[in-house]
Amino acid sequence: MSFCASAQSVFQQKVNHKINVELDTNQKKLLGSIKTTYINNSPDTLSFIYYHLWPNAYKDTETSYAKQQILLQNANFYFSKSEYKVSIECVNIQVNSVESELKEAFSGIDDIKLLPLPEDLFPGDTIIISMDFSVSIPVLTSRMGWRNNDFCLTQWYPKPAVYDQYGWHPMSYLDMGEFYSEFGDFEVSISLPDNYIVAASGDLTSRKELHRLEDYAELCKSSKYKENIRAYGDSTKMKTVNYVCTNVHDFAWFTSPDFVVEMEPFFISSQDKYVRCWAFYNKENADLWDDATKYIGQTVNMMSYEVGSYPYNNCSAVDAPLGAGGGMEYPTITVVTAIDKYSLERVIAHEVIHNWFYGMLASNERNNSWIDEGFTSFYESKYFDRYYPNLGMISELIGKDVNIHGLNEISGRFSKELAWSYFISENIDQPAGLNSEEMSPLNYFILSYYKPVVAIYSLEKYLGEELFRKNMNSFYNIYHHTHIYPEDLRSFNLHGVQDISWFFDDFILENNYPDYKICGIKKDSLIVKNKGESLSPLFLNIGDSSVIVDGFEGSRSYAINNEKEFSIDPDFRTLDLNRRNNYFRKGFLKCRRPVKLSLFNIVDNPKYFQIPIAPIVTYNSTDGWSPGIMFYTSPLPKKKFEFQLLPVWGTKTNMLNGYANFSVFIHPAGKTLREIEPFVSGRKFGLDDETGSYFYKVSSGLKIKFQTDVHKNLESELLVRNISASDYYFDTLKNYQQIKYRYADYNPINPWSIDLDIQNGIGFTKMSAEYKQFISYNKRIGLSIRIFAGKFLYSSDEYYGNYNFRLYGNTGSQDYFYDHLFLGRNEDIRTSPQNIWAHQFIRNDGGFTLYSPY
């Protein structure tokens, strides 16, 4: 939500906070008072201020946070007990010593309030807002909360919304979709039990507590067995610790009596100063966290050089519970959860980098998540490029040097490309520049963390690393500690003359992708054609030399000599739509890419023309064990044409059997159809090993997926097909037609689906409907409902009973479409009830699990 301002000049409010708060660790409560000094630097006169009371996000199941959890397929909070559902109360509110009160801002929304001002706040004027507040701390499900002895106090105090050149920006607390806050100075006094160790934003100014913490950190560092470290203090006493944090837009703190603490001063070479790097972690994770301060220091050092100076004295990472992702950033401090050292280093690097992108270059994370998460993830990749050069794709994902199908020989950036390209192949891609609330949950992750990274790598390669860094340093020097918008980034190329509009217009605001193709060689020239929609630059390798060319339409030719191999963007630094046409070799048996057989291949290496194969063994009671080889297209990346071909040899019947499927995927333009899949499939297997009889079927048709609401987990599909299949009882081939529609809502509370099916064959036409729903009583218990109805619309004298609706569902002999796999299709429960395979059935029609002849 935003509201237009009367003036569009750029300005920035200053909002300072002085907070006194006491933590009751037994009652799980905060009691505090806050004095906020609000300086109106805008050209507008303000009559009210929007306030964020984000602890109210946990108030009940009707909040924006609670509703989003359902969209994220997470019902934990919905079914949680009362200790998970809490609120904040604000009383004794005064504005310039005049009593006031917080009022409803939007109907039904309790985590945004409106504070009317007793007098207009004119441009350049200052007001002081004071209030007392109490917060019931929830069991942790998102970012704020407690678990065991750990407390995470984030988004915990009453906070004014941002007012900038675009107006007010009130926003509810969400799990998916982060924040936007005003810069200011914080003075925070925290009272809590003496044995609790505090990790917080900014500088600890309580000298006695600081010396005590430093001594404790030295003890922890020198102790080989962290579990033997003495208790930090006396749990029966209280203490007050004071923090200051200057020119930041948030304040977070974490506390536990069980923290192990380590501190290392790290020299920041580009600033010629030391930054104190702190790690607060639990004893059981000591082996995991023993290098955490090094990771923090390395990140601060790199970012100070690549982007701009780090103005703070401390930088901390905290091992604490988190319900929203693997880490979360706050000014000078981050909370991290990790399962191994590699993921810990990656998350620490990512979250510390957020001190620049979110902390000092403070974009509106809710509206432009691609800025903070995209640039942060880009520099996270550069961190690993710097400290772990030549990290391959598998190593990028799991942190181990395992080379599967040569994938570790190519850049780790390819893993990010696989993610966003899959969404393109499913026709569910969205522009990265959307507001996070407009994105689907999966797209939020891809469009914020993955797609922008490759786009920024394109920009860096186009400009060159030195010019890119020079531009970034200048951009930081101009905009640090301000709110930045995408239009500010359009001026990024401050020291160059290149046009970078393609970065924004094609990669961020739209889904225009490049697809440069090497067409071949004509005389002494290499022909390259732009088949894509983007005019982004071409990165062309001719032999061992590389060429960077401004984007173009149509075809271009490039002079060549004796070079043998040619490629486009071999190090995966652009959003190329189709890498299969990016390679060309000349000479004997020339081809675009070397051919390679790949055993059990899942992910295609784009540098090869791979033929995936997999030995496989099938079984049914008629054919016995049937060895074979499967030929297939790899699942990733998804292709426009895919096939699976599985020939097997029946050892009992001595027959060649198998399965085959061929599909084409078409993505129509428009908002109605998501995907059209023409397909042809078939299968053949034995029916009776004594007579040598077998069945076969060929099915051809269309599968149509309709577009649905991206915010919900919905399915809307139509199947239209013809089936030519053996008749089980007669040695004939019969044709059937089927139209089937399915609509499903997979929400985690009360999921439901409906299937409508019309079948036609010689002598009959029948229609059926099936409705399923699960009605939840609590997280584990609910009522499952299934309703089925069927009717014959037509039947003739040629009709016979194998097509009947049945009370119990269909056995193998009654599966006349041969859609399902049966281990004993020929086994009959009526004549061989002792045979276990005879008891297999399809739970359709009536769906009873007890056999009935009806």
Which of 141-155, 283-297, 406-420, 642-656 is predicted least confidently? 406-420
What is the pLDDT averaged over residues 849-853? 70
Contacts of 253 (CB under 8 A, 6+ apart): 153, 188, 190, 198, 199, 200, 201, 243, 333
Q: How far apart are CA 201 and CA 737, in angstroms?
A: 67
**619: domain CATH number?**
2.40.160
- Give the structural domain span for 282: 195-239+262-355
296 in a structural domain: yes
* Span 457-483, pLDDT tens digits: 999 999 999 999 999 999 999 999 999
Confidence of residue 8 (pLDDT cuts 50, 70, 90): very low
Same domain, 234 and 348: yes
Beta strands in 107-233 (DSSP E): 109-121, 126-136, 145-147, 150-153, 159-160, 162-164, 167-169, 184-193, 197-200, 203-204
Please write the tens of the pLDDT for every residue from 195-239.
999 999 999 999 999 999 999 999 998 876 666 676 787 889 999
Q: Which residues pair with 411 in a beta bridge?
A: 392
pTM: 0.91
Q: Based on the fold, state whether residues 562 and 615 are members of the same structural domain.
A: no
Question: Percent of the chain having pLDDT more than 70?
Answer: 96
Residues 318 and 464 in one domain: no
Does 688 share its domain with 816? Answer: yes
Number of compact structural domains in the chain: 5
Residue 147 has pLDDT above 50, yes or no: yes
Same domain (yes/no): 614, 585: no
Counting residues of the chain whose pLDDT is more than 90, the rounded percentage is 72
In this predicted model, which residue has the larger pLDDT, 657 or 590?
Answer: 657
With CA atoms as reference, report the closest residue to 718 among 665, 773, 663, 675. Answer: 675
Stretch (H or E) spanning 660: strand 656-664
Q: Does a structural domain hold residue 257?
A: no
Are residues 163 and 207 both part of a single domain? no
Domain boundary among 508, 524, 550: 508
Do 611 and 531 sit in the same domain of this protein? no
pLDDT at 593 over 80: no
Instruction: Give yes or no: residues 422 and 460 share one domain.
Output: yes
Residues 486 and 611 in one domain: no
Instruction: Give the mean model confidence (pLDDT) for residues 432-437.
Output: 90
- Is the per-residue pLDDT at 831 higher than 90? no
Is 747 a domain residue? yes
pLDDT on residue 590: 61
> Is residue 367 situated within a structural domain?
no
Domain boundary among 575, 592, 609: 592
- Does a structural domain hold residue 190? no
Query: Which are the contacts of 339, defined by CB distance < 8 A and separation ≥ 6?
Result: none
User: Does a structural domain hold residue 346?
Assistant: yes
> What is the per-residue pLDDT across 248-293, written as a single tens digit (0 to 9) for each?
999 999 999 999 999 999 999 999 999 999 999 999 999 999 999 9
CATH number at residue 337: 3.30.2010.30
pLDDT over 80 (residue 728): no
CATH code where residue 4 lies: 2.60.40
| Final residue of a structural domain among 548, 571, 592 | 592
Whether 407 and 266 map to the same domain: the answer is no
Q: Are residues 477 and 618 in the same domain?
A: no
Residues 613, 485: one domain?
Answer: no
